[in-house]
């Protein structure tokens, strides 16, 4: 029997069984081996090609698994119908080229923190503690989140934000979006509409849309979402960012919080309180969460740790109302946990040790110093040419630059000098100061001044 379709290169680094498998697969796909055609026995093919029987058997087994050939007991191996209409072009693994952009020397983005001020030494210690717990790491873990972490979060969220929640009410997940997906399944009804203040929040809107909810973007005023518009909308659910309004970066004042809670009580509605960085306020004491003010009724609370600990530690938590907790308990077994079990145990240990509170106090001082130094440097460099607005808890400065150039053009000019700033939807420049080292702020602003010298 001729084997012209079998090209085996024994000098190649590719395993021999893999070469044989590929040759036979190609012969079947091209029609060279027709349906029902018998292949040589393992011993015969091994002898004819000077290969081991193990090599041939391994290739045949893989071809059988993938459905290119079949094994008939006591009869041999036969080709199956896997012919392709067009020749199959086989190539090596894809080659990925790294995108090269302008080098960033000073990063004023909003997606990072200063690596020199993260509590990495302590975090490593708690990670090691978690990894040493072999008895609990050998399973998938709890659907709702590890009990140890939920107990720690119950105490921490009350102390830091005034949130009233038992561990049974807390659901852990890998950030806000996975938790919102679960929430949408719990609150889904005939009226699947959720109100939020203009201009909206893209990440939350994406989840709501994917879950079949309609988002109503209602106008806002100095205090937040307009109550008249909310009442007229007839919605049952309102999504609010109490510590960081998207439009202004400021928090919702107490008077409006009480109005929202009154609306929830009278209408039977539910407020979804996204308290992003709520505990990071440093110019004054943080305003307590609405969930605690409402005694845990009518408010679903969302919290996270991306700017408190590490952006790469994707752990968030959701506090359900007592009614939604009962609904969740009935179906929680159908939800897979999205947060790392190792990181959950590490975070629980980190919180219980008191290190989270100590690190939070340090960050408040640090971000207060950064914001003040950056504002002074910008005012000194640009004077009346810019208007500065501080968004405290998002750790952002908004720059209204008096120029005829667009925000995108200004960002490109800055990047050419190695400075990363971001364009805002309102034509302003967004400068996040979480990632820039304190001692580099003056040099960074001087470099920005050089980049914008002709505006």
Residue ranges covered by each domain of the chain: 16-79, 106-112+359-451, 142-336
Compute the average pLDDT of residues 55-83: 93
What local confidence, expressed as pLDDT, does residue 193 receive?
93
Give the whole-angstrom CA distance, residue 140 versus residue 342: 11
Compute the average pLDDT of residues 271-280: 88
For domain 142-336, give its CATH number from 3.20.20.450, 3.40.640.10, 3.40.50.150, 3.40.50.1370.
3.40.640.10
Structure confidence by residue, pLDDT tens digits, 109-156:
988 888 787 888 899 999 999 999 988 888 888 999 999 999 999 999
Task: For residue 398, give every residue at least 6 positions away whose Cβ sits within 8 Å of its Cβ, in sequence order, or none.
Answer: 249, 388, 389, 390, 391, 424, 428, 429, 430, 431
Longest dimension (CA), the chain: 91
As given in the structure block, the two tokens for residue 279 are: 């505990």
Q: Are 266 and 381 in contact (CB under 8 A)?
A: no
> CB-based burial of residue 418 (10 Å sphere; 0-12 exposed, 13-18 middle, 19+ buried)?
middle
Q: Does 190 have pLDDT greater than 70?
A: no
What local confidence, expressed as pLDDT, does residue 246 receive?
77
Structure confidence by residue, pLDDT tens digits, 436-452:
999 999 999 999 999 99
**pLDDT band for position 100 (cuts 50, 70, 90):** very low
Structure confidence by residue, pLDDT tens digits, 363-395:
999 999 999 999 999 999 999 999 999 988 888
Inter-axis angle of helices 355-382 and 120-131, nearest 10 = 150
Q: Does 29 have pLDDT greater than 50?
A: yes
Q: Does 87 have pLDDT greater than 70?
A: no
Percent of the chain with pLDDT over 90: 71
Q: Which residue has the higher pLDDT, 102 or 391?
A: 391
Any idea which fold 106-112+359-451 has? 3.90.1150
16-79 shares its CATH topology with 142-336: no
> CB-based burial of residue 89 (10 Å sphere; 0-12 exposed, 13-18 middle, 19+ buried)?
exposed
What local confidence, expressed as pLDDT, does residue 102 receive?
56
What local confidence, expressed as pLDDT, does residue 310 receive?
79
What is residue 289's three-state secondary structure?
A: coil
Q: What integer best gives the mean pLDDT of the chain?
A: 90
Q: Are 55 and 16 in contact (CB under 8 A)?
A: yes
Percent of the chain with pLDDT over 70: 95
Q: Are 305 and 118 in contact (CB under 8 A)?
A: no
As given in the structure block, the two tokens for residue 73 are: 């007991």
CATH number given to 16-79 = 1.10.10.10
What local confidence, expressed as pLDDT, does residue 314 receive?
87
Task: For residue 358, give every residue at least 6 positions away whose Cβ sits within 8 Å of its Cβ, in sequence order, or none.
Answer: none
Give the whole-angstrom CA distance, residue 310 versus residue 434: 11
Of 196, 303, 305, 187, nearest to 252 by C-alpha is: 196
As given in the structure block, the two tokens for residue 136 are: 């609990």
Q: Does 96 have pLDDT greater than 70?
A: no
Q: Does 1 have pLDDT greater than 60?
A: no
What is residue 69's three-state secondary structure?
A: strand
What local confidence, expressed as pLDDT, does residue 86 receive?
67
């Amino acid at each position: 029997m001729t084997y012209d379709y079998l090209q085996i290169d024994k000098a190649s680094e590719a395993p021999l069984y893999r070469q044989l498998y590929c040759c036979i697969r190609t012969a079947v796909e091209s029609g060279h081996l027709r349906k029902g055609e018998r292949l040589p026995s393992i011993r015969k093919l091994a002898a004819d090609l000077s290969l081991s029987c193990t090599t041939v058997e391994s290739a045949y087994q893989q071809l059988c698994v993938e459905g290119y050939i079949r094994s008939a007991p006591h009869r041999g191996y036969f080709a199956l119908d896997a012919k392709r209409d067009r020749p199959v072009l086989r190539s090596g693994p894809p080659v990925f080229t790294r995108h090269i952009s302008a080098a960033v020397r000073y990063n004023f983005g909003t997606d990072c923190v200063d690596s020199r001020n993260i509590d990495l030494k302590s975090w490593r210690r708690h990670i090691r503690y978690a990894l040493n717990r072999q008895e609990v790491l050998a399973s998938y873990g709890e659907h709702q989140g590890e009990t140890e972490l939920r107990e720690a979060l119950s105490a921490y969220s009350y102390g830091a934000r005034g949130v009233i929640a038992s561990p049974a009410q807390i659901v852990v997940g890998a950030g806000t979006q996975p938790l919102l997906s679960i929430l949408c399944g719990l609150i889904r009804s005939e009226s699947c509409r959720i109100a939020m203040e203009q201009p909206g929040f893209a990440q939350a809107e994406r989840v709501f849309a994917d879950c079949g909810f309609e988002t109503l973007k209602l106008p806002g005023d100095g205090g937040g979402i307009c109550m008249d518009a909310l009442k007229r909308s007839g919605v049952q659910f309102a999504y609010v960012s109490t510590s960081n309004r998207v439009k202004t970066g400021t928090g919702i004042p107490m008077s409006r919080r009480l109005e929202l809670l009154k609306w929830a009580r009278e209408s039977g509605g539910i407020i979804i309180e996204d308290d992003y960085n709520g505990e990071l306020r440093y110019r004054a004491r943080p305003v307590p969460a609405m969930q605690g003010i409402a005694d845990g009724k009518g408010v679903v609370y969302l919290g996270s740790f991306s700017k408190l600990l590490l952006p790469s530690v994707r752990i968030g938590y959701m506090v359900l109302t007592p009614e939604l907790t009962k609904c969740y308990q009935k179906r929680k077994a159908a939800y897979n946990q999205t947060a790392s079990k190792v990181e959950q145990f590490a975070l629980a240990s980190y919180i219980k040790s008191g290190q989270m509170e100590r690190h939070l106090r340090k960050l408040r001082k640090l971000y207060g110093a950064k914001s003040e130094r950056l504002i002074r440097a910008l005012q000194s460099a640009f004077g009346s040419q810019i208007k500065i607005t501080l968004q405290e808890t998002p750790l952002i400065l908004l720059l209204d630059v008096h120029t005829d150039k667009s925000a995108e053009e200004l960002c490109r000019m800055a990047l050419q000098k190695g400075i990363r700033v971001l364009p805002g939807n309102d034509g302003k420049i967004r400068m996040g100061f979480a990632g820039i080292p304190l001692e580099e702020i003056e040099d960074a602003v001087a470099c920005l001044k050089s980049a914008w010298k002709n505006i």
